[in-house]
Amino acid sequence: MYSEINCVQVISYQTIKTNCPLSKKKGKTNLSTPSLSDFSHNSGTSLFFKLLKFPTKSAQIFGYLPYQLVYTGDLTFSLKSVPFFLLLIHLSYSIFWKILGEFFSINDILQLVQNKTDETISSRSSSSTERFCEHLVTTLILFVSTGIRLMTLLDARKVIEFNAKLAQILENLEKRNFENVAKFVEKSARHMKVCILISTGILFVPNAYFRVLQFCDFAKIWETGLLSRCEIVLYAIGASIKNLTSISEAYYIFWIAAIAQGIQLGFFIFTENCTEINDGTDFERNLRDFQNLKSLLDTFNREFSRQIILMLLCYSGIWVIDVFLLTNRATAAYTADSPVLNGVAICVICFVANNTIMISVLPIVSTNLGDEARRAVETWGNYGMERYPLKLQMRLQGFLTVMMASPNGMLISPGNYFILNKTTVTSIFGFLTTYVFVLMQFQGTEKT
């Protein structure tokens, strides 16, 4: 009995290989994309497709995903696909932007925030700590955005196989209360879409404000003749593209959250099925389905661990620096009574708010996933102990004992290094606040 409880029954490698959309033919990766009419709207794959559609399209446009999403909920990869070319364009642009700064005097243009645009700010000098933090923020953003894009290329096969396995498991789950399942999918997809639009709006405000300030400075520099017209026009175009692409910083982390919601969908379907347990003939199927979902979560923690850890580390550092810069900008705006600095302080608040969302989204999704998994275990236990025969009740009791012994086993845990839940969020921000005070102490020591 113990071996039956702990033996994880998953889809065989041959099944994954057969259903996986990644196939090689004459050295190329291709797949004939099925039409929507080939699949039932009540299928698990169509539900998964609805969950992934908006986050995937958003991430594809800004070059974070080289994959294509088909109506089965599967991902495909092709060197000739539009998402792959968009990823290459964004990678090339990041490198070009870095090289551009070495060949042209970009620092002469970037003084608009510090002391160039408004004469009332000219007397204010930034500390070396503040200037270092400003450069560190841009470096971290470049590092995380480039790193994520490279990881999506290097891990293409693993991600596609995992997604195919998830879609296959959702398709194989019996859906007895489809109306409730459909409502869950629509609610989850709507919440994810709203969060993405909120993040986009929050980042659009400061980027649009800085765009206006930059164009004001371009006109001044044009008149002084400090830089050639070619340099100014080239930088103006590059800065416009950079500000446009900056609104997409959170898109990839929302896509990972949508994948995790797909696993949560599986547990929700399982819970709905357990409410209609009869005489125990479905015990083996329920056990297999639950263990498949648990195995799927373990695979998720393993395959996406590097991306999650990279994003949490980088955006935590960015959050610390943004809060530190916010205190400086707010102090400067109060003392100088400058409309420009007032706007800059509001923009930094927007950056802090967006980074807070990015750090919090995965722990919140992980908490919801864990709660749904525990609800699935409790529902199966409550209905099973009432309707199963005595022999199956004993097996079910053993399974429940094993699952309840590890309540954190159903949470997102990148590489099994740490778990993500709402408690983790409060711990992270408490820890980061300490570093904000450390930066303030450094700056105070520098001024004295």
pLDDT tens readout for residues 94-108:
777 665 554 444 444
Answer yes or no: is pLDDT of 342 > 70: yes
Q: What pLDDT sits at residue 232?
A: 67
Q: Can you give the pLDDT at residue 297?
A: 92
Tell me what percent of the residues of the chain surpass a pLDDT of 90: 26
Average pLDDT over residues 379-383: 86
Q: Which residues face 76 on adjacent strands?
A: 68
Alpha-helical segments (H) within 275-388: 283-303, 305-336, 339-387
Query: So what's the pLDDT on residue 56?
Result: 93
Mean pLDDT value across residues 110-115: 41
Q: What is the pLDDT of residues 233-254, one digit of tens each?
A: 766 776 677 777 788 888 999 9
User: Which range, 47-56, 123-132, 379-388, 395-404, has the best average confidence (pLDDT)?
Assistant: 47-56
Q: Is the pLDDT of residue 22 over 60?
A: no
Domain locations in the chain? 47-447
Which range has the top average pLDDT, 16-20, 97-101, 313-317? Answer: 313-317
Tell me the mean pLDDT in the region 75-97.
Answer: 84
Residue of higher predicted confidence among 337 and 124: 337
Tokens found for residue 243: 């500000």
With residue 233 as reference, give the H or E element that holds it.
Answer: helix 229-245
The amino acid at 412:
I
Contact 269, 179 (CB under 8 A): no
Query: What was the pLDDT predicted at 251?
Result: 92
Tell me the Cα Rg of the chain. Answer: 26
SS3 content of the chain, % helix, strand, coil (to 5): 80, 0, 20
The answer on pLDDT for 361 being more than 90 is yes
Confidence of residue 140 (pLDDT cuts 50, 70, 90): confident
Q: Provide the pLDDT for residue 33.
A: 40
d(CA 448, CA 443): 9
| Amino acid, res. 34 | P
pLDDT digits (tens, 9 = 90+) for 24-79: 343 443 333 444 334 444 566 788 888 899 999 999 998 899 998 888 778 888 88
Contacts of 199 (CB under 8 A, 6+ apart): 249, 250, 254, 354, 357, 358
Greater model confidence, 105 or 320: 320
